[in-house]
Amino acid sequence: MTAADTIAAVASPPGQGAIALVRVSGDRARETVRGVFSGKLNEPRRQQFGHLVAADGATIDEVLVTWFQAPRSYTGEDVVEISCHGGLLVTRAVLDRLLEAGARPAEPGEFSQRAFLNGKMDLTQAEAVMDLISARTDLARRAAHEQLAGRLGEALGALREDLIGIVAHVEAYIDFPEEDIDPDTGATMLGRIDAAREAVARLLATADQGRLLREGVRTVICGAPNAGKSSLLNRLLGFDRAIVSETPGTTRDTIEEVIDFHGLPLRLIDTAGVRESADSLEREGIARTLAQLDNADLAIEVIDASLPGPDIPNRSGVEIARHLPAGARHLRLLNKADLGLGAGRGGEADDGLPFSCRTGEGMESLTAAIFRELGGPGANWGADLVAINARHKRCLARAADDLERARESLAGGASPEFAALDLRAALDAVGEVVGKADVEEILGEIFGRFCIGK
Ligand SMILES: Nc1nc2c(ncn2[C@@H]2O[C@H](COP(=O)(O)OP(=O)(O)OP(=O)(O)O)[C@@H](O)[C@H]2O)c(=O)[nH]1
Ligand SMILES: [Mg+2]
């Protein structure tokens, strides 16, 4: 497997469609296609009509072919794109013909990997291609687009430049050991390191947002039996997915559906109501509810507030917050507000949000509360979305530690060699995010998750 190979793959999804796209990339891409195509490919970026012909001269399909001359192509190599008729057999036949003519099947993500290796995009942009394709909501799409446009790369580029400056400065002192770092210079240097630490911290703070946009918010709907959990799921979904009935204990198994909630992907999980039960089936359901809470990003506790009963916080039989992981959010809905809440309210104004699954009352406050809870301070679900992924987070967390150590040794008056080592490590860690470090081993991990043809 060398970069010199000419690779080919179907870039459109399998199945039937008006057209499909087959991509070829590599030094011999144009030559390979010329050997099997009746039209000319003399002018780059100009679509040519012609026939794709089999070895025996028979026509395989009528196609439109475009040649992108290196380096002005997606991969940076010569690329030829063939639009053929969209059908499993047609695309298969076109691809087979190209393989027969000397191309080799592309590995998953290999086109994007070549684009990265040829300097057409940095690693964060290559990852954004995948994010963009798999985005389920508008906010997720916009965040992916920002990253693809290089927004994260720019922020990291500025950070790397600062770090390179600091490293150079510290290393200058190592080269002239007879001169101690004077207090003034020392303070300036610490200031610069702190600025870099803040920049890293700001990016790290977007990690949660990034994960929620990419994976969806694990939203567990929980509470006592008959509170209206399944009714809430149905209301949020906009159709009757779960069985709703006046019999407590209706929902036994967990039901999961992903919705586009004003741009935010919510992975809604309806659960069995929690109560003491003799029924082993129901007990299994309750165990599953608690297991779901273990992994929740957000718990929406539904309470039938029309009924008299103990104080609102004690209505669900279990203390929901205690079952949630650190950092998870918890909202309480005072459901069935259409029946009147007076009887059941514990009297505390901040017990929860009045809500009605029947009438939809309270939906606006719920929406606002969800965005507020998930955002945390400084969250920006609007424009300029930079939201790092788990890999970026791992690298940047390392950079944060390295910078912290560098700061400590400088401030503590240790020999500057120690600080220099840590600063270099921080620089590497930041470089790893965009692919400007020794990253061979992480490439496979990133591009292996792509689909073929990308
Ligand atoms: N009046 C009124 N009734 C509601 C409301 N929400 C749910 N209900 C009723 O409450 C009963 C229980 O609703 P479900 O959605 O099945 O409740 P659940 O929490 O999923 O119940 P289990 O699955 O048994 O734990 C049904 O008869 C619903 O029609 C509401 O906002 N107002
Ligand atoms: Mg239910």
- Rounded CA-CA distance 307/366 in Å is 21
Does the residue 405 lie in any domain?
yes
Clarify whether residues 255 and 329 are in a common domain: yes
Number of independent structural domains in the chain: 3
Flag residues of the chain having pLDDT under 50.
1, 344, 346-347, 377-378, 439, 441
Three-state secondary structure call for residue 23: strand
Position 41 scores a pLDDT of: 94
Triad 351, 355, 356: Cα angle to 5°: 145
State both tokens at 66: 């475009």
Q: The CATH number of the domain where 252 resides is what?
A: 3.40.50.300
Clarify whether residues 90 and 141 are in a common domain: no
Pocket test for ligand 1, best of 222, 231, 275, 341 (most atoms within 8 A of CB): 231
State both tokens at 449: 């998750």
Pick the atom of ligand 1 nearest to 339's CA.
Answer: 1
Q: Phi then psi for 45, rounded to 5 degrees?
A: 60, 25
pTM of the predicted model, to two decimals? 0.79
Does the residue 340 lie in any domain?
yes
Whether 80 and 67 have beta carbons less than 8 Å apart is answered as yes
225: CA distance to ligand 2 center in Å?
Answer: 7
Residues 72-125: tens digit of each pLDDT: 999 999 999 999 999 899 999 999 999 999 999 999 899 999 999 999 999 999
Clarify whether residues 233 and 361 are in a common domain: yes
Clarify whether residues 348 and 424 are in a common domain: no
Clarify whether residues 224 and 276 are in a common domain: yes
Three-state secondary structure call for residue 339: helix
State both tokens at 233: 């799921």
Q: Nearest-CA neighbor of 433 among 212, 160, 224?
A: 160
Considering 106, 135, 159, which residue would you say is the last residue of a domain? 106
Whether 288 and 253 have beta carbons less than 8 Å apart is answered as yes
Does the residue 119 lie in any domain?
no
Q: Which residues pair with 452 in a beta bridge?
A: 108
242: CA distance to ligand 2 center in Å?
Answer: 7
Helix H segments across 21-150? 29-34, 88-100, 110-117, 123-134, 138-148
Q: The CATH number of the domain where 421 resides is what?
A: 1.20.120.430
Q: Nearest-CA neighbor of 249 among 227, 219, 268?
A: 227
Residue carrying structure tokens 């270099």: 424
Considering 354, 375, 396, which residue would you say is the last residue of a domain? 375
Where in the sequence is the domain holding 243, given as residue range(s)? Answer: 218-375
Does the residue 36 lie in any domain?
yes
- Rounded CA-CA distance 361/4 in Å is 63
Considering 330, 353, 375, which residue would you say is the last residue of a domain? 375
Position 1 scores a pLDDT of: 46
Number of C-beta neighbours around residue 54 at 10 A: 14
336: CA distance to ligand 1 center in Å?
Answer: 8
Clarify whether residues 276 and 337 are in a common domain: yes
What one-letter code names the amino acid at 336?
K
Clarify whether residues 230 and 360 are in a common domain: yes
Residue 286 CA, chain-centre distance (Å), reads 31
Pick the atom of ligand 1 nearest to 250's CA.
Answer: 24
Clarify whether residues 371 and 228 are in a common domain: yes
Helix count (H) and strand count (E) of the chain? Answer: 15, 12
Clarify whether residues 202 and 223 are in a common domain: no
Whether 367 and 331 have beta carbons less than 8 Å apart is answered as no
Position 63 scores a pLDDT of: 97
State both tokens at 282: 């129901």
Does the residue 370 lie in any domain?
yes
Residue 199 CA, chain-centre distance (Å), reads 21
Does the residue 211 lie in any domain?
no
Does the residue 452 lie in any domain?
no
Whether 376 and 208 have beta carbons less than 8 Å apart is answered as yes
Q: Which residues line ligand 1 (CB under 6 A)?
A: 225-231, 244-246, 248-251, 272-273, 335-336, 338-339, 356-358
Position 33 scores a pLDDT of: 97
Q: What single string gives the DSSP state of each residue in 129-181?
A: HHHHHH--SHHHHHHHHHHHTTHHHHHHHHHHHHHHHHHHHHHHHHHSTTSPP
Does the residue 81 lie in any domain?
yes
CB within 8 A of 431, min separation 6: which ones? Answer: 160, 437
H or E stretch covering 405: helix 390-411
Q: Maximum Cα–Cα distance for the chain, whole Å? A: 85
Clarify whether residues 282 and 303 are in a common domain: yes
Within 13 Å of residue 306, how many CA atoms lie on the same side as its CB?
13
What one-letter code names the amino acid at 86?
G
Q: Phi then psi for 279, rounded to 5 degrees?
A: -75, 120
- Rounded CA-CA distance 164/157 in Å is 10
Clarify whether residues 245 and 359 are in a common domain: yes
Position 313 scores a pLDDT of: 81
Clarify whether residues 202 and 222 are in a common domain: no
The ligand with the least distance to the CA atom of 231 is: 1
Q: The CATH number of the domain where 13 resides is what?
A: 3.30.1360.120
Residues 271-329: tens digit of each pLDDT: 999 887 778 888 888 889 999 999 999 999 999 999 887 788 888 888 899 999 998 99
Pocket test for ligand 1, best of 244, 251, 254 (most atoms within 8 A of CB): 244
